[in-house]
Structure 1
Amino acid sequence: MELGGMVDALIDKSILITGSTGFLAKIFVEKVLRVQPKVKRLYLLVRASDAKSAQERLQNEVIEKELFDILRKEHGKEFNSFMAEKVCAVPGDIIHHNLGIEDINMRELLWKNVNMVIHVAATTNFYVRYDIALDINVLGAKHTMNFAKKCSKLEVFLHVSTAYVTGEKEGVLLEKAFSMGEALKGNMYLDIESELELVERRKKELRSGNTTMGAEKMAMKELGIERARHYGWPNTYVFTKAMGEMMVGKLRGNMPLVIARPTIITSTWKEPFPGWIEGNRTIDNIIVGYAKGTLPCFVADINSRMDVIPGDMVANAMIAMVVAHSNKQGEFIYHISSSVRNPVNYSILEQCGYRYFSKNPQIGKNGKEIRLRKLPIFKKLAFFRIFLFLRYWLPLEMLRLVNIIFCCMFLKKYNELSRKYKFLMFLIDLYIPYCFFKGCFDDFNLERLRMATKKHAENQIFYFDPEKIDWDEYFYSIHIPGVIKYACN
Structure 2
Amino acid sequence: MGLPERLAGKRVLVTGATGFVGEALLERLLSDLPDTEVVVLVRPRAGRSGQARFAALVTKPAFAAWRERVGADEVERTLRERVTVLEGDLERMPTLPADLDIVIHCAGEVSFDPPIDTGFATNLGGVQELLRAVQDSGARPHLVHISTAYVAGLRSGHVAEGRLAHTVDWRVEQAAAQRARPAAEDASRTPEALRGFRERAEAEHVRAGAQTVSREAERHRRRWVERRLVEIGGERARVLGWTDCYTFTKALAERYLENSRDGLPLTVVRPSIIESALARPFPGWIEGFKMAEPLIIAYARGELPDFPASPDGIIDIIPVDLVVNAIIAAAATTPPANTPAYYTVCSGFRNPLLFRDLYEHVQEYFQRHPLVARNRGAVAAAEWRFAGAATVESRLRRGERFTELAGRALGYAPRSDRVRQAARDLEQLDERLSFLRRYQDLYRSYTRAELVYVDDATRALHQGLEPADAQRFGFDPACYDWHTYLQDIHIPSVTATIRGPDPSPPAVRRVAPASASGPDTLAVFDLDGTLVSSTVIESYLWLRLADQNAVARSRELASLARALPGYIRAERRDRGHLIRAVYTRYAGADPDELARLVDEVAGDILLRRVKPAAIRRVREHREAGHRTVLLTGAVEVLTRPLTPLFDEIVATGLALGPDGRYTGRLTSAPLVGDARAAWLGHYAGRVGANLRASWGYADSQSDLPMLRAVGNPVAVSPDLPLYRVARRSGWPIEEWSSTPGEPRAVAAGRDERRAHAAAARVRAWRAGGGPAGGSGAGTDRVITLDPGGRR
**TM bucket normalised to smaller:** 0.7 to 0.9
Matching residue of 2:347: 338
* Matches of 2:24 and 2:187, distance apart in 1: 41
* Matches of 1:436 and 1:204, distance apart in 2: 34
Summarize the Cα distance change of 1:242–1:357 in structure 2 as closer, same or farther, 3 Å threshold: same
Matching residue of 1:156: 142
Aligned equivalent of 2:469, options 453, 458, 465: 458
Unaligned runs of 5+ in 1: 102-106
Deviates more, 1:73-82 or 1:62-71: 73-82
Summarize the Cα distance change of 1:486–1:154 in structure 2 as closer, same or farther, 3 Å threshold: farther
Summarize the Cα distance change of 1:48–1:288 in structure 2 as closer, same or farther, 3 Å threshold: same
Matching residue of 1:55: 51
Matching residue of 2:288: 279
Summarize the Cα distance change of 1:190–1:43 in structure 2 as closer, same or farther, 3 Å threshold: closer
Residue aligned with 1:157, SS? strand
* Matches of 1:486 and 1:37, distance apart in 2: 34
1:388 equivalent to 2:396? Answer yes
1:88 equivalent to 2:70? Answer no
Per-residue deviation, 1:46 = 1.2
Aligned equivalent of 1:182, options 167, 174, 182: 167
Per-residue deviation, 1:479 = 0.9
1:262 equivalent to 2:271? Answer yes
Q: Contact between 1:27 and 1:312, CA under 8 Å: does it hold in 2?
A: yes
Deviates more, 1:206-215 or 1:464-473: 206-215
Pick 1 or 2: higher relative contact order, CA cutoff 8 A, min separation 6: 1
Residue aligned with 2:30, SS? helix
* Matches of 1:227 and 1:290, distance apart in 2: 32
Per-residue deviation, 1:378 = 2.2
Aligned equivalent of 2:488, options 470, 477, 481: 477
* Matches of 2:41 and 2:170, distance apart in 1: 34
Residue aligned with 1:277, SS? coil
Structure number with greater Rg is: 2
CA RMSD of aligned residues (A): 3.2
* Matches of 1:55 and 1:405, distance apart in 2: 55
Show the 5 A alignment for 1:42-441: 42-48=38-44, 53-60=49-56, 62-78=57-73, 79-96=75-92, 99=93, 101=94, 107=95, 110-178=96-164, 182-183=167-168, 191-203=172-184, 205-206=186-187, 209=190, 212-325=221-334, 328-365=337-374, 369-389=377-397, 392-393=399-400, 395-396=402-403, 399=406, 424-425=436-437, 427-441=439-453
Supply the AA of the counterpart residue of 1:395.
F
Per-residue deviation, 1:472 = 1.2
Per-residue deviation, 1:396 = 4.8
Summarize the Cα distance change of 1:291–1:152 in structure 2 as closer, same or farther, 3 Å threshold: same
Per-residue deviation, 1:327 = 6.7
* Matches of 1:207 and 1:398, distance apart in 2: 27
Supply the AA of the counterpart residue of 1:75.
V
- Per-residue CA deviations over 1:395-435 (Å, capped at 9, x if unaligned) read 357649969999xxx9x97x988898577445423211222
Matching residue of 2:12: 15
Summarize the Cα distance change of 1:150–1:486 in structure 2 as closer, same or farther, 3 Å threshold: farther
* Matches of 2:344 and 2:24, distance apart in 1: 19
* Matches of 1:487 and 1:203, distance apart in 2: 39
In the comparison of the two structures, how many residue pairs are matched? 463
Unaligned runs of 5+ in 2: 195-217, 414-418, 501-791
Per-residue deviation, 1:129 = 1.2
* Matches of 2:111 and 2:401, distance apart in 1: 31
What TM-score do you get using the length of structure 1 for normalisation? Answer: 0.85
What TM-score do you get using the length of structure 2 for normalisation? Answer: 0.54
Per-residue deviation, 1:326 = 6.1
Supply the AA of the counterpart residue of 1:383.
T
- Per-residue CA deviations over 1:130-163 (Å, capped at 9, x if unaligned) read 1111111110011112222234443300111111
Aligned equivalent of 1:448, options 460, 473, 477: 460
Deviates more, 1:278-287 or 1:375-384: 375-384
Supply the AA of the counterpart residue of 1:5.
G
* Matches of 1:397 and 1:29, distance apart in 2: 48
Supply the AA of the counterpart residue of 2:396.
L
Per-residue deviation, 1:344 = 1.0
Q: Contact between 1:286 and 1:295, CA under 8 Å: does it hold in 2?
A: yes
Deviates more, 1:436-445 or 1:285-294: 285-294
* Matches of 2:29 and 2:58, distance apart in 1: 14
Summarize the Cα distance change of 1:143–1:20 in structure 2 as closer, same or farther, 3 Å threshold: same
* Matches of 2:91 and 2:498, distance apart in 1: 28
Deviates more, 1:468-477 or 1:170-179: 170-179
Deviates more, 1:69-78 or 1:416-425: 416-425
Residue aligned with 1:44, SS? strand
Matching residue of 1:104: none
Per-residue deviation, 1:313 = 0.5
Deviates more, 1:149-158 or 1:330-339: 149-158
* Matches of 1:162 and 1:277, distance apart in 2: 18
Q: Contact between 2:300 and 2:379, CA under 8 Å: does it hold in 1?
A: no
* Matches of 2:317 and 2:434, distance apart in 1: 29
Q: Contact between 2:344 and 2:458, CA under 8 Å: does it hold in 1?
A: yes
Q: Contact between 1:361 and 1:369, CA under 8 Å: does it hold in 2?
A: no
Summarize the Cα distance change of 1:56–1:403 in structure 2 as closer, same or farther, 3 Å threshold: closer
Per-residue deviation, 1:246 = 1.4
Matching residue of 2:604: none
Per-residue deviation, 1:296 = 3.3
Per-residue deviation, 1:354 = 2.0
